[in-house]
Structure formats: C-alpha cells, structure tokens
Amino acid sequence: MAEKKSLGKELTKGFLDENPVLRLVLGTCPTLAVSTSVESAIGMGLAATIVLICSNIAISALRKVIPSKVRIPAYVVVIASFVTIVQMLVKAFAPSLDEQLGVYLPLIVVNCIILGRAEAFAGKNNVLASAVDGLGMGIGFTIALFLMGFIREFFGTGTVTISLINDGKALWSPIFGENPILIFILAPGGFFVFGMLIMLANKIAERKGKPKAQLHSCKACPMFATCTSSEKEDCDR
C-alpha cells in the first residue's frame, strides 16, 4: 500500500506541485515557441512525454553502470537516441506535425526538463518509480503546453483546430472569430499568457502551503527538500 501511495504521489506531483513549466520554470523556450496552437502544443507534449518515460527507464536501469564522472554525456546520448526514434516516427506518421514543430522536435535532446529528471530522479531511483516520474512530468508539461496553446489560439486566431483528429476542421470557433486578438500568437502574447499561468499556479500552490515559483532562490524550488546538489547552500547567497 505504501509503495502504491508513493508511486501515486510521484505521478501526480508533476501536474501542479512540481509542474516543470509553471512551478520549476523549465523548458521555457519550446513552451513559448510551439504553443501558438493546440495541435503543436499537444504534439510537443506527447513527444517529450515519450522521451521522458523511455529515457528515465533506460537511465534508471543503467544508473549503477554509468560512471559518475561521465553521467551527463551518457544521459545526453540516451536521450538523443530516443529523440531520434520519436522524430523518425513523427516524420513518418505525422508529417504536418513535424513541420509545425520544426527544429524544436530534435531540440528535445537538450530540453532541461528531460535532462533534469534524469539527473535529479532517474539516476537515483528504481525503474518503476522513474517511469512513473517521467509519465507524471510529461503529463504536467503537456498540460501547461495545452493551456498555453488553447488560450493563444483561441484568442489569437479565433479558432481551435486539431487537424490530426478532426480533419482540419475547427473544434471551437468563438464569437469574435472574425476579429481575433493577433498579439496572442506573437511573442508578447506568449510571455503574457505564460506569466498569467505561472501566477495562477502560484496562487493555487500558495493555498496548498507550497512555496512560490521564484528564479532567484533555491529554497523556493519545490524540489529543494529532495535536492542532493552540494551547491544548493550557495544558491541563496
């Protein structure tokens, strides 16, 4: 029962408490770049989730074999292998999505969310827990991307379309469809929506007694209690 409860906590922590985008403020570049539409946001989220799960499993299984001094290069090789597989599958079965994601799909290799989970969790825990952690963080990443994509596309283009499941037809066409607020699909709109969602996540976390997401303090990081970095004491100086 304790193990099930622990795995359940590992799964759900990435939804809000340790959401990689809205709480840990990781993966900001692809989040802002591909969230101009719901389709590209979901596509990036699913691709990153698959890589997260697979790389976490592989790294956890090899954690006792990989020398500590070369663990980061080894992690990158493992992650790059799975990213290549995912990219080839997307090119073969969803070429339109591959075109939308562009260079950000192969750049999953250096996504700090994936490398961060490898270093902070998979390299220290068993395979099952690492797989669950990857799934939870991937879902959290996808949720954040979906929310940003939905808001930006809804207000920025006047429609919400997922051509992969609806044959290119709009799933949602609001009243102001003919007069969208174009700034939402531009860079300033992306930063605005991103900031609003972080503020909302902070408010919800504050009500639950969690620390706010802040970039200048290690102690404000939701992972502070479990962090094993020898440098964390210096981060607040």
Residue 41 has what pLDDT?
A: 93
Q: Tell me, what's the pLDDT at 210?
A: 75
* pLDDT classification of 9: cutoffs 50, 70, 90: confident
Write the DSSP assignment of 112-157 as a string of letters. HHHHHHIIIIITTS-HHHHHHHHHHHHHHHHHHHHHHHHHHHHHHT
3 compared with 71, residue with greater pLDDT: 71
Q: Left (φ > 0), alpha (ψ -120 to 50) or beta: where does 67 sit?
A: beta
pLDDT for the residue numbered 163: 59
3 state SS for 179-216: CCCHHHHCHHHHHHHHHHHHHHHHHHHHHCCCCCCCCC
pLDDT at 14 over 50: yes
The domain spans of the chain are 2-225
pLDDT for 1? 40
Residue range 115-125: mean pLDDT, rounded: 92
d(CA 40, CA 98): 9
Q: How confident is the model at residue 178 (pLDDT cuts 50, 70, 90)?
A: low
- pTM of this prediction? 0.82
Helix or strand holding residue 172 (H, E): strand 170-172
Given pLDDT bands bounded at 50, 70 and 90, which one contains residue 208? confident
